[in-house]
Amino acid sequence: MDWLFTPIAPHALEQLEAWIGDTFFVLAFAFLAVELLVYALRRRFSGALAADVVTNYLTLGAFMVITYVALGGVYLTGFVALEPLGWLDIPVNAATVVICVVLADLAYYWEHRFAHRVGLAWATHSVHHSSPFFNISVAYRFGPLDGLLPFAFHAPLVLLGFDPVVVFFSEMFVQVVQTALHTELIRRLPAPIEAIFNTPSHHRVHHGSNRAYLDTNYGGIFIVWDRLFGTFAPEEEPVVYGLTKPLEAGNPVWAFLHGYVRLARRALAMPRLRDGVRALFSAPGWAPTPTQES
């Protein structure tokens, strides 16, 4: 068991992180090819699907430019600045990385729930949900400011004393596991796995616009958070993917920016200013009159 507590050089963890991220990106392309082939064989392949795949990777490109140019610096300096404030001095080894991944998954749950229930955050996260399809390329569909929220929700881990490199690694790990769930090819996994872990089935539900599926299954690696906090829904009726109000046009620029435009329109349409401001911070379906459905 010595290996569990042998210190790991942070540098090595950074290298492993980069390797996993890159390798997974390439494997995702291979998997996408298989998915598209299966759609073709089932006669479900269409021009709209092909265009959507292209849109997904275009949003990824735009997201990466924004994240690396503008947000990456904030992130790095932010975590490094917070590091000396850390309460505990947590060593870097396999055991603490595993613990941090579990806690980062919990942090992700709240980040994700926040992204769905607060207008300004939903405006960027809704890009990810705006695809009417569900394949692994959708996992790479990002909104402009999707890089901002993880900082706020994972900073507590740095403040508790985890090494920033370990927190980054854990975030990436949760993200990679999540990415792998974006597929229709895997129907159900064995019951014990479905009970504990987030699975393609659970995540299809999360992407559903069906009434029963809205605001459910926020988990990253574990679905237990949803069961614990009352946001779990099993896959029963067929999933209708996408937004309750689908995108008007399939063009990538609109897909990337629609969230903010729609939010601004909604806020400006409110007759009272304070309702407009409240709309920015409220759930997407929020309306001033309490009789309307949410």
Partner 1 sequence: MTTQPPILLPLTLTAALFTGGAVLASWAQPLDAAPMASSDPDGTESPEGAASDDATGTPGIVPSEAAAASPDAPRSSEGRAPAPAPPAGLTVHLDGVQDRGGKLVVIVFADEAAFAAYDVDRAVAYEEVAAKAGRTTLRMPWLRAGSFAVSVWHDANGNRALDMKGEWPTEGYGTSGRVGKWDTPAWSAAAVPPGEVAVRVHYP
231 contacts partner 1 (rule: CB under 8 A): yes
d(CA 86, CA 102): 19
Segment interacting with partner 1 (CB under 8 A) among 106-114, 143-151, 236-244, 246-254: 106-114
Q: Is the dihedral of CA 67, 174, 164, 158 positive or negative?
A: positive
Segment interacting with partner 1 (CB under 8 A) among 42-50, 56-64, 67-75, 213-221: 213-221
| Binds partner 1 (CB under 8 A): choice among 36, 58, 60, 90 | 90
Number of residues this chain uses to bind partner 1 (CB under 8 A): 42
93 contacts partner 1 (rule: CB under 8 A): yes
φ/ψ of residue 241, rounded to 5: -75, 155
φ/ψ of residue 243, rounded to 5: -90, 155
290 contacts partner 1 (rule: CB under 8 A): no
Q: At closest approach, how far in Å is the CB of 132 from partner 1? A: 21
Q: Spell out a b/e string for 148-162, using b for 16 or more CB atoms within 10 Å of the CB, else e.
A: bbbbebbbebbeeeb
Segment interacting with partner 1 (CB under 8 A) among 30-38, 226-234, 260-268, 274-282: 226-234
* CB neighbourhood size of 244 (10 A): 12
List residues near partner 1 by CB under 8 A.
2-12, 15, 87-91, 93, 95-96, 99-100, 102-103, 106-107, 110, 156-157, 160-162, 212, 214-216, 228-233
